[in-house]
Amino acid sequence: MPSPRKFVQALGLLDSTMIVAGSMIGSGIFIVSADIARQVGSSGWLLVVWLITGVLTVAAALSYGELSAMMPHAGGQYVYLRQASDILIWAGIKLNPLGDK
């Protein structure tokens, strides 16, 4: 009798990407596009808006990927924002040490 096969509980890169893409497409197509179409007035402009937001979404995803490679700590967005606030405070002190306007 053959041994039973075990189910592997793992998601690869392609699986995870397809889950995220499916969620984004599902919510974006059915909920948001009707409101955008009312605002822009034509289907051509709707496609332009989709293209622009798609490019911005890819840029944001690449930025988060780069940030996570630079700061591999638990906490995600909190870690990035904490680091950014430290840099902004430091820059404010260096650029305007006396607090003059």
The pLDDT value given to residue 70: 82
**36 shares its domain with 80:** no
**37 shares its domain with 63:** yes
Task: Tell me, yes or no, whether 3 lies in a domain.
Answer: no
Q: Name, in order, each residue with C-beta under 8 angstroms of 7's C-beta and a sequence gap of 6 or more.
A: none
Q: Is the pTM of this model over 0.75?
A: no
Q: What is the rounded distance in angstroms from the CA atom of residue 60 to the CA atom of residue 72?
A: 18
What residue ranges of the chain have pLDDT lower than 70? Answer: 1, 28-30, 88-101
**19 shares its domain with 59:** yes
Task: Report the share of the chain in percent with pLDDT over 90.
Answer: 4
Amino acid 13 reads L
CA atoms in the 13 A half-sphere facing the CB of 39? 9
**30 shares its domain with 42:** yes
Supply angle C-alpha 75, 24, 74, rounded to 5: 10
The pLDDT value given to residue 61: 85
User: For residue 49, what are its two tokens?
Assistant: 């808006």
The pLDDT value given to residue 52: 92
